[in-house]
Amino acid sequence: MITLVEPSAPLHDAWLASMREFEGAVLHGYSTFGFEVDELAEPAGFERWLERERLQNRRALDGFVPATAWWIVDDAEPGRVLGSIHLRHELNDWLLAEGGHIGYGVRPSARGRGVATAALRLVLDRARAMGIERVLICCEDNAASRATNLGAGGELEDVRVGEDGGRVERYWIDLR
Contacts 24+ apart (CB under 8 A), 106-115: 106/72, 106/82, 107/18, 107/19, 107/21, 107/22, 107/81, 107/82, 107/83, 108/21, 108/22, 109/21, 110/82, 110/83, 111/144, 112/144, 114/2, 115/2, 115/72, 115/74, 115/82, 115/83
State the Cα–Cα distance between residues 24 and 2, nearest whole angstrom.
26
pTM of the model: 0.93
The predicted structure's pLDDT at residue 61? 84
- Spatial contact of 81 and 19, defined as CB atoms under 8 Å apart: no
Q: Which domains does the chain have, with CATH numbers?
A: 2-132 (3.40.630.30)
pLDDT in tens, the chain (176 residues): 999 999 999 999 999 999 999 998 888 888 898 899 999 999 999 999 999 999 999 998 888 899 999 999 999 999 999 999 999 999 999 999 999 999 999 999 999 999 999 999 999 999 999 999 999 999 998 899 999 999 999 999 999 998 889 999 999 999 99
The predicted structure's pLDDT at residue 24? 81
